[in-house]
Amino acid sequence: MNPPEDFSALRRVSARLGRDPLLVQSAGGNTSVKADGVMWIKASGTLLAQAETQDIFVPVDLPAVREWIATGEVSVDRPADFALVHDALRPSVETSLHAVFPQRFVLHVHCVRTIAFAVRQDARERLAEKLSGFDWAFAEYIKPGIRLAHRVRDALKAKTDVIALGNHGLIVAGDSAEEAEEKINAFAAALEAPIARAPAPDIAKLRSLAGGGYEPAPADHPLNVVALLPRLTAIAIGGSLYPDHLVFCGPAATALAEGENAARVAARFRERGLKPPPFVLAPGAGALIFRDASAGGAALARCLGDVLIRIPEDAPIKYFTEDETRDLMEWDAEKYRQALNAQ
């Protein structure tokens, strides 16, 4: 299969996006280009940051994908069925989401500034206050995949090229990769918000609470701010906020109880047959990071901090329900991504 001439532009823009942790974390996000009935889309579990150095895109049968979307079938996601080359790579589970856009290029990112709004119960209203200059729409959270593709399709109007995804992120479309990238940057700039500040973490206290594979987070880690501000600690331990947060960090965050240390937390998780969480909050002191956390876990731990420090005091938070949590954790597509991340 020969990709289109502007495929190099997709790879170049994808790599730039993948290197910006405020837009993409670990294997998150996906990008695509359509040409001559074929859509080249990022493979599940691969890194956008490596788009120029590795083969991370899979060609899929675009008309067949669109026909599948039109049937209304939502019982199972099957993007791999539409791959035109069968090797070790699977098309992104968001294949159907990209296919509903008529534009040539589609870029999907987990923009921190967008997520800080998207996890609010009043996300649509607060975003509308910021985005008067965009032809945009809002899609309430639904499990990624074909269900989300249907929801976004129904939200699209003739010229809509930006969709804010509730409890998820941002997706933009354009006739060139650079045009779509410019829209992402402009959208993120429009959502710039004050960042919460806190005193320096208590490193001595954190060292006394470490153990079990945990060590104090770097002084500039945003989770230190979360642990030092009670309102942000409460949000963090209150539940899960977006898919990659849940998949790579587990349901909600873990905070030390009075008199507890990180070694006890690690032991408690191991007793249940679970790997310790990638981070633990020590309220009033700072954050502890698990040394053996996966690359995805470490990246999403920082992402959570970056999101939470952008949430204002009066924001009503929308967490995943128990059903939504279970649906994601038991999903084969996410188990596949977790297995790749563990490697």
pLDDT band at residue 228 using 50, 70 and 90 as cut-offs: very high
Element (H, E) at 286: strand 286-290
Q: Which of 101, 298, 284, 325 is nearest to 201 (CA)?
A: 284
Three-state DSSP at 340 gives helix
Please report the pLDDT score of residue 336 as a whole number: 43
- Cα–Cα distance between 157 and 32 in angstroms, integer? 20
- Cα–Cα distance between 305 and 227 in angstroms, integer? 9
Q: Which two tokens stand for residue 303?
A: 């992402």
Query: DSSP alpha helices (H): ranges in the chain?
Result: 7-18, 62-71, 95-99, 112-118, 123-128, 146-155, 177-190, 203-209, 222-228, 230-237, 243-249, 262-271, 295-308, 322-329, 332-342
Assess whether pLDDT exceeds 90 at residue 1. no
Q: Which of 98, 120, 119, 122 is nearest to 109 (CA)?
A: 98
- Cα–Cα distance between 335 and 247 in angstroms, integer? 8
Q: Which two tokens stand for residue 83?
A: 């791959």
Is pTM, for the whole model, over 0.85?
yes
Q: Which two tokens stand for residue 73?
A: 């079938």
Please report the pLDDT score of residue 104 as a whole number: 98
- Is the Cβ–Cβ distance between 52 and 11 less than 8 Å? yes
Q: Which two tokens stand for residue 23?
A: 């837009």
- Cα–Cα distance between 61 and 288 in angstroms, integer? 46
Topology adopted by domain 7-190: L-fuculose-1-phosphate Aldolase (3.40.225)
What are the domain boundaries of the chain?
7-190, 203-342
- Is the Cβ–Cβ distance between 39 and 58 less than 8 Å? no
Please report the pLDDT score of residue 17 as a whole number: 98
Q: Which of 9-13, 101-105, 307-311, 328-332 has the lowest mean pLDDT?
A: 328-332
- Cα–Cα distance between 6 and 181 in angstroms, integer? 14
Q: List, edge to edge, every strand of the sheet that includes 136-139.
A: 57-61, 38-42, 30-35, 105-109, 169-174, 162-165, 136-139
- Bridge-partner residues for 170, per DSSP? 109, 164
Q: What is the pLDDT of residues 63-83, one digit of tens each?
A: 999 999 998 777 668 899 999
pLDDT band at residue 332 using 50, 70 and 90 as cut-offs: low
